[in-house]
Chain A
Amino acid sequence: MTISEQTVDLQPPTEQEVLTEITAMLATVLEEYGLDDAEAAAEVTMESRFTEDLELESIDLVTLAGQLRERWGDRINFAEFIAGMELDEIIGLTVGRLVRHVVDRLQTAGRS
């Protein structure tokens, strides 16, 4: 598992930059299941759904939450983001929705 240092971002990242970083995190999470799943992570798009398309288990999302926190600190609280959702929303949660959440949070944090 890689641990990236928290960096002070001068500019809030773009959606594309956040997508690239989250794709790398997903590859790390999926590595535990072997090569096939890790390859599937190379095809992560904004439309990919965590459970249906990427086949993540809930415990994998806990690992992802830890990586988000390592990267961006307390600004990104994935547990709270999920805890506010309906079951159907979570089942259909896309990578894009998380990416936009992260971008919004980092922009808000940048202004405050």
Chain B
Amino acid sequence: MAFLDLDGLRCHVQRLAPQDGRPPAATVVLLHGLLTDSLASYYFTLAPALAAAGLDVLMYDHRGHGRSGRPPTGYRLEHFVDDLEAVLDRLEVTGPVQLVGNSFGGTVAFSLAARRPEQVAGILAIESEPASRAWAVKLDGILRQAERHLVEEETLAWVAEQRGSHTARLARSAGALLAGTSLARDIPASLLPAEAELRSIRCPVLAVYGTESDLACQAAWLDGLLADCRSTFVPGQEHSVLIEAPEVVRELTLSWLREHGADLRDGVLRDGAVRDGVLTGRGSGR
């Protein structure tokens, strides 16, 4: 299956099942970030290794992104959380699931855990944070900048020079998303969870940061806020940990799931050793 119809919204879904035909050890839902991101960030990095380890791997493109539909309006955080709930309901994923969220994808994961705690077994949050007033203010600044500059040819040429033509193409797509929708205005206007709601999240959380990222200094705050949260730091990395260090994220994810009871197989990818390798945008993707 590739597309779900969520009340008129086309949702591009990819699901990788364990290849040995045995029942999956757990269901993992992979949530991507904003703007330059899509499910491809997982499809070519984490997802094959997780499926090989015996997991049911579910990923989808957020509204406006990748191959999902792009309505002109409706981009507040709660809409993205509604979509996640709808995907789980439509695919009849009943048991609690493990959520892996990159950047904004983690923000969606925290919101689902606050809204439907019985649905979430655990969260692995990569360079991410729950929504808060400070988060909304920061995203407002980032999105305003992106909206202004990602449609400028000189900016796109600079991105191509610094980061390569593929990233420039992703940046151009992000510019089109911002120009064609209310996303930049909607995200900062999201319904924000109250601190008490975040404190009520009981599921285990592993927060992954790059040591060079501006989010890393929030680790102690998040550890203190959540009931069961631990932080880990990837040396030398900035915000794009998933893209720049996929092998590290793979190992962290597999050991995290093992620690929380998933009976994983010693899956070996058919095409030999897994090395760092990605084909996704680097940079922005909050």
Are these two chains actual partners, yes or no? yes
- Where the two chains meet, the residues of A that have a C-beta atom closer than 8 Å to any C-beta of B are 51-52, 55, 57-59, 61-63, 65-66, 74, 77, 79-87, 89-91, 93
Q: Which of chain A's residues have a CB closer than 8 A to the CB of B170?
A: 57-58
In the bound assembly, the distance between CA atoms of A77 and B47 in angstroms comes to 12
Number of A-B residue pairs at CB separation under 8 A: 95
A74 to B40, CA, bound (A): 19
- Shortest B10–chain A CB gap in Å is 12
Interface of B is mostly: loop
Q: B residues bordering A, Cβ < 8 Å?
A: 2, 14, 16, 19, 38-41, 43-45, 47-49, 52, 61, 66-67, 164-166, 169-170, 173, 269-281
Roughly how many angstroms separate A108 CA and B115 CA in the complex, as a whole number? 50
List 14 additional A-B contacts (Cβ < 8 Å) besides A51-B165, A58-B38, A91-B164. A51-B169, A55-B169, A57-B166, A58-B166, A58-B281, A59-B66, A62-B66, A77-B48, A82-B277, A83-B44, A84-B272, A84-B274, A91-B279, A93-B279
Q: Is there an interface contact between A62 and B279, defined as CB atoms closer than 8 Å?
A: no
Measured between alpha carbons, how far is A61 from B170 in the docked complex, in Å?
13
* A-B contact list, 16 entries, CB within 8 Å: A51-B165, A51-B279, A55-B169, A58-B43, A58-B279, A59-B61, A61-B44, A62-B43, A63-B67, A81-B271, A84-B271, A86-B275, A86-B276, A90-B44, A90-B277, A90-B278
Top 6 A-B residue pairs of the complex, sorted by shortest distance between their CB atoms: A58-B40, A85-B277, A84-B271, A90-B279, A59-B38, A59-B66
Q: Which residues of B contact A57 (CB under 8 A)?
A: 38, 40, 166, 169-170, 173
Contacts of B173 in A (CB 8 A): 57
In the complex, which of the residues A66, A77, A83, A91 contacts B274, with contact meaning CB atoms closer than 8 Å?
A83
Determine the distance from Cα of A63 to Cα of B12 in the docked complex, in whole angstroms. 10
Question: Inside 8 A of B275's CB, which chain A residues have their CB?
Answer: 84-86
Of chain A, the residue at the smallest CB distance from B2 is A66
Q: Are A59 and B40 in contact (CB under 8 A)?
A: yes
Most chain B beta carbons < 10 A, residue from A51, A52, A79, A82: A79
